[in-house]
Structure formats: C-alpha cells, structure tokens
C-alpha cells in the first residue's frame, strides 16, 4: 500500500497549516488526540525559544497536518489504525514489520500530500 486508502469521503476540508486551524480540525476528526497535540505544541514552542529557530514549530505543524490528513479520510484512518494495531499485536517479527511498513507508507503519503 503506497497510497492512502481514499474512498472519496472527507469528514472535513483540508485545513490551513497553522496550529489553530489544525487544532480545530483535530477536534473534529480525532478529538482524543488533542491533549497530545497541545503537549507537542508546548514542547515545540519551548524548543523554538531555546534554540532560536522556528524549525521545531514547522516540524510540529508538518506532523499534525499529516495526522489530520489521515484522520479526515475515514477509510485511510481505518487502514492506518488497523495496521498500527496489528503491528503492535503481531505474533512474529515479520508480521510486525509488514504492518509497520503499512503504517509508515500511509503516513508518508499523507505527509507528502500536505507538505510536498
């Protein structure tokens, strides 16, 4: 699987790439991940201040844009979460690798769609 699994259904339009828009989108498509996002934003801001670089904030936005891209497509989100679950509960190392590869491919495709 080298492409996201799209069934044509989008829960929401693709949001702008800024923390506020991504947070609002995440609240709709994966509200349970909001605490993780807020924690990541706090850490990115602290790192940006410490390093004197905006790169941590850019990385934060790029990551969450990809997460929202996955979650806003129900079929893609189902495939992503299923593969992640199976990777974490695989009976063999080979099965784990296969499912982890599927997770990585879905994430890479979503990342490329919004950051490429």
Handedness of CA 4, 112, 16, 31 (dihedral sign): positive
Task: Judge if pTM exceeds 0.85.
Answer: yes
> Is 24 exposed, middle or buried (CB count within 10 Å of its CB: 0-12, 13-18, 19+)?
middle
Which residue intervals of the chain are DSSP H helices? 19-29, 34-51, 55-71, 74-88, 93-115
- The pLDDT, as a whole number, for residue 9 is 86
Tens digits of residue pLDDT in 81-90: 999 999 999 9
- The pLDDT, as a whole number, for residue 116 is 83
Tens digits of residue pLDDT in 14-60: 999 999 999 999 999 999 999 999 999 999 999 999 999 999 999 99
- The pLDDT, as a whole number, for residue 19 is 96
- The pLDDT, as a whole number, for residue 2 is 44
Distances (CA, A) of 101 to 77, 80, 95: 15, 11, 10
Tens digits of residue pLDDT in 60-83: 999 999 999 999 999 999 999 999
């Amino acid at each position: 699987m080298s492409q996201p699994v799209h069934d044509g259904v989008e829960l929401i339009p693709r949001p702008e790439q800024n923390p506020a828009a991504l947070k609002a989108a995440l609240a709709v498509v994966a509200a349970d991940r909001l605490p993780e996002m807020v924690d990541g934003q706090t850490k990115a801001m602290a790192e940006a201040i410490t390093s004197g670089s905006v790169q941590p904030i850019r990385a934060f936005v790029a990551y969450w844009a990809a997460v929202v891209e996955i979650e806003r497509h129900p079929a893609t989100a189902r495939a992503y979460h299923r593969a992640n679950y199976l990777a974490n509960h695989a009976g063999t190392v080979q099965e784990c690798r296969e499912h982890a590869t599927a997770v990585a491919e879905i994430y890479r495709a979503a990342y490329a769609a919004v950051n490429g």
